[in-house]
Amino acid sequence: MAVSDEAFPARKRRPSIGAFVSPNLSDQKLLQSLFLLSQDVSSRQPLRILLRKNSASVIRKSRLISVLFEELVRNPVIVFPPSAALCFEELYIVLQRIKVLLEDCSTCSRMWLLMQIPSISSCFHHLIVELSTLLDIFPARELNLSEDVEELLNLIKKQCSEKYADCVDAGDENLRAEVLKMLENIKREIVPDHTKLSAIFERLNLCDSASCSGEIENLEDEVQNQNDDKSKADIIALIGLVRYGKCVLHGASTPRIATRRQKSAAEANIPADFRCPISLDLMRDPVVVSTGQTYDRSSIALWIESGHATCPKTGQTLAHTQLIPNLALKNLIAMWCREQRIPFDSTEVNVKPNGVALNKTALEAIKMTVSFLVNKMTAWSQTAEVIDRLVYELRVLAKTDSDSRTCIAEAGALPLLVKFLASENPSLQINAVTTILNLSILEANKARIMETDGVLNAVIEVLRSGASWEAKGNAAATIFSLTGVHGYRKKLGRKTRVVKALLDLAREGPTNPRRDAMVAILNLAGDREAVAKLVEGGVVDMVGEVMDSMAEEAVAVLELVVKRGGVMAISAAYHGSMMKKLTAVLRDGSDRARESAAATLVNICRKGGSEMVAELAAINGIERVVWEIMGTGTGRARRKAATLLRILRRWAAGLIGEHFSTQHSATTLDISTRIVLPA
């Protein structure tokens, strides 16, 4: 079968400590706590959709136990015999475990709960057996129970002696078998029968698009609760089934027009250990190099591909260029992202070295869903509202993992999306451009976007004159993603329309779209020819305008522009004002901004001549600021500050002439990277 019975181990729960430790209470307080706990459990409603018989059985027994303890509370024994105290403590633990199990079953994914029917039913049965054992040793005589209470105790014992089969709902087992069979058929590329699929979803009360979306979110949470890759992959197969059923049975989701992309890593206070030493951004795929240092895979790979043979952080020569995944750190980062509600591609199906997906069921479910959506989009009778919902569903799917991005592109979605980029409907335009952005995260799709007729030009038009700031920002983020490929960076950097549109957005847009534009400009500035276009378009003016509000991005752009020949634009246009702005960043900026500001000032002084050094030296308190960086800055900032101090001292000593220039021998990190977050 596609997913065997054993493929679904018991869910990793998060019970309270009280589920396993008896309370350290006096006899009377323990009795009172038992009464309250049994009341709490007995007041709950049986599970409505699955495990109804199991939950109803254990709640009914808890209700009887509650009556028993109510009688004991009303007629308290002054001192419990030791056997009674021990029995009560154990009863407290069992009741607490029952409470946790009921809570867990009521809040988790229905599909995942269905797959665990045998193990969860067994858990309920084992808890009832434990209750029966404790009631058998209950010291009734030593507590001098009344005849009525003893009769109640015997009734509870009888209730707890029922057989396991009496508590299991055959309907649950049959439904589980149906789902397992459907997963097997999907693996064999057999499209699920519409009637059977509808019956399963109706039975699980997945009755509309919203409930299906909630179920998908719950399943994604379950992925995080599993430790082994097999279980994660099997849950992802269930996600594929629910997503397919949602689209086929209930139609695509209604787009959320007014929302921005999920919280980005740039907006969070990222722990230092989670930042890549090269990009200073959140690591998505941390890897270890031969020196033992950890970097984000994309950043260190680009560093090595650029011809460097040293470790960027230590300067040591790399013994080899193998990149070893740091799985422990990746798991910690994934957990942190989940807490911060930052997207993290942790639910992707793992692949074998030969590229074959570990879970064919999940892959086939994705293909079926994409095929359904794309075919619906091509139907001539669809209204604009329906098209918008279909594109939004593709956008959500493209956000999930690389398999989905591959399937969407291979299904021919890009040519269809092009015509929606020119739509006057703001929601449809946003969803179309954001889908392309999410597709562009996959390297293979970058080539498809660049080569598919009309796609790039349509994205550029949205960047220039999109119907909303969000559409423009996501178009800028798409440009950034494409510039991750060196050849595409050169091609895009030559386009005056791209450069002008990015500079305009960086000046005028709201914070998030401006940031998208700035990082795209930052990537373009990695190419010398593109820098010439940027300078011609007024990048130095733009940096000066946004320095106060976006210091990190502005200084990073300026650093690359100066490094690749743009220093004369600063000298001609700004004289000392830019130096003062950079000094202000040195004094008050973030670690990352101060590092870039120090490096920029070094290059300005070296390439701008003695006039620029004089401008810097004339700034009040500059040496004190440089000394402070040398003491408190990052490693690179301290090195640059030391170089800057030497330049200032040489100028003060008259050792720097009009044509001052020196070869920059220190290794600098000129790789600018940023994670493109699925939108």
Distance CA 236, CA 242 (A): 10
Interhelix angle 209-224/229-250, rounded to 10 degrees, is 170
Query: What per-residue string of b and e applies to 369-386 under the rule 16 or more CB within 10 Å gives b?
Result: bbebbbebbeeeeeeeee
Distance CA 212, CA 102 (A): 22
pLDDT of residue 674: 42
pLDDT of residue 464: 93
**Residue 211 near residue 205, CB atoms below 8 Å:** yes
Give the pLDDT confidence of 502-511 residue by residue, as tens digits.
999 999 988 8
Residues 6+ apart with CB under 8 A from 26: none
Q: Strand ranges (DSSP E) for 197-323? A: 286-288, 294-296
Query: Which helix (H) or strand (E) segment is 154 a member of?
Result: helix 147-160
Distance CA 195, CA 663 (A): 74
Interhelix angle 496-508/486-493, rounded to 10 degrees, is 80
Name the stretches of the chain with pLDDT < 70: 1-27, 76-80, 144-146, 162-168, 253-254, 256-269, 280, 306, 338, 340-358, 566, 569, 571-576, 656-679
Give the pLDDT confidence of 104-135 residue by residue, as tens digits.
898 889 999 999 898 898 888 888 888 888 88
Residues 6+ apart with CB under 8 A from 588: none
This prediction has a pTM of 0.75
Give the pLDDT confidence of 182-199 residue by residue, as tens digits.
999 999 999 999 999 999
Comparing CA positions, the residue from 362, 149, 161, 345 lying closest to residue 265 is: 345
